[in-house]
Structure 1
């Protein structure tokens, strides 16, 4: 594994880092749309600062609870917005990113070597057909206050995930796994979905295990997958440290 890390193309990794952070800027813009829907007026720059500080806190608690908790605390303290009003906002923000993640994962699954069974195809097609309508109905009946920004936030969520997917693809190229790019990206998306569960901090261990078992399942070298996961984690931590710096200023 050490040799794979050492031989990784630094230029691809730098581009992956840039694309990852661009995705976070898009995420900040999306979250700010939710803020404005409840009357919280933040400039895009202030929203971005809050977003990165939240990323920093995400390093210490599972599934982003630390980051969301900090943002709820900060907004409640500064704008006196009720916590009961902020929690649904952050839940929807998560869902508007999760649904495109699941959707992209289902599409890639269809074209990957993991699609060995007709039931996997059925699952993928069902996910593609039902995920967006399910989110819309959830918005319509449970979060009606946000229905006007449904399309905008969902679109921003899709752009965010697409940027992260391209970032992941650049890591794949950096470690010379172009021939297995669909499989790596499929596992990347699956591991991102699993990382939402409150079973690890910052996705540590979850991505590695996903790649370990996933690549073994189709007969590929799992060590390369673990290296991919480590590189992505390093990019995440490095980017999140910016939030720690901003918090201290």
Structure 2
């Protein structure tokens, strides 16, 4: 076993331990039976709507990534790109590291001579940053509608500042460090907005499924914050990280512990079930992607 493989296994084990530790801590505070009662009594109709909203957001994410591919001269069909995206989504969930699926997509495209590693990684990074920028922007926007949070010191000015500066900052970073991708900044930011809206709709339907009767804004704010935290490469698919955010967040917002934790489990389940399509597709031979110029590494 080579050193790289041992390192990957060590990373996966570390993330597994961190996820398990976080969940253990959550279940020490919140009654597991109450959580699972909420999960198993969830309305299947709303769960189906959540599943559809989640996957619609992922389809839009795939279209956004294809804009970045086009900007670096990688021309692949929308169908092929969507297949790659779901395969990558599956690997992102289970492979060691936080971008295992992204690296696998880069590897497949590179093997087919469809682009250089450096430019493909650049497109992948900007795709993630575009999504993160709109995620943070919408989080600040939701906070400004929460009277409870605005009572806390500095939250209002911080959120207002973030609302005004996050997009100019993203614009500057894109222009300064990724000029080749600047040509698609407007369509990708537009798609990022709808991607995050789809995620919010997914969260809303899950909340409706488990019978949340009020305080939707508080749940959605914590969901957005937990999504930012889940991006960090410390846990498996964000498992444990989201639960801890909700566990601590309930002290400041009007949410119910057991429903909050049940929500995080159902959201992860939606992600995991959707990712199974990537597993199935990874076992099949991929279709031809179509002609594209080979881009040499610089």
TM norm structure 2: 0.81
Aligned runs of 1:100-179 on 2, under 5 Å?
100-112=134-146, 113-179=148-214
Q: 1:222 Cα deviation (Å)?
A: 1.2
**Structure 1 partner of 2:79:** 45
Consecutive unaligned residues in structure 1, runs of 5 or more: none
- CA change 1:80–1:220 in 2 (3 A) is closer
Secondary structure of the structure 2 residue equivalent to 1:177: coil
CA contact (8 A) 1:63 1:197 kept: no
Tell me the distance in 2 between the aligned counterparts of 1:62 and 1:108: 33
Query: How far apart, in 1, do the equivalents of 2:174 and 2:117 lie?
Result: 19
- CA change 1:201–1:229 in 2 (3 A) is same
Among 213, 235, 241, the alignment partner of 2:270 is 235
What 5-or-longer segments of structure 2 have no aligned partner? 1-34, 285-298
Specify the SS of the correspondent of 1:130: helix
CA contact (8 A) 2:218 2:253 kept: no
Match of 1:76 in 2: 110
Q: State the structure with more CA Rg.
A: 2
Large movers: runs of 4+ above 2 Å? 61-64, 112-116, 216-221
Name the CA distance, whole Å, in 2 between partners of 1:200 and 1:118: 31
Name 1:182's counterpart in structure 2.
217
For these two proteins, the number of residue pairs brought into alignment is 249
CA RMSD, aligned part only?
A: 1.3
Cα distance between partner residues in 2 of 1:185 and 1:238: 22
What CA deviation, in whole Å up to 9, does each residue of 1:159-188 have, x standing for no partner?
Answer: 101011111011111112141110110000
Partner of 2:19: none
1:62 and 1:199 in contact (8 A); partners too: no
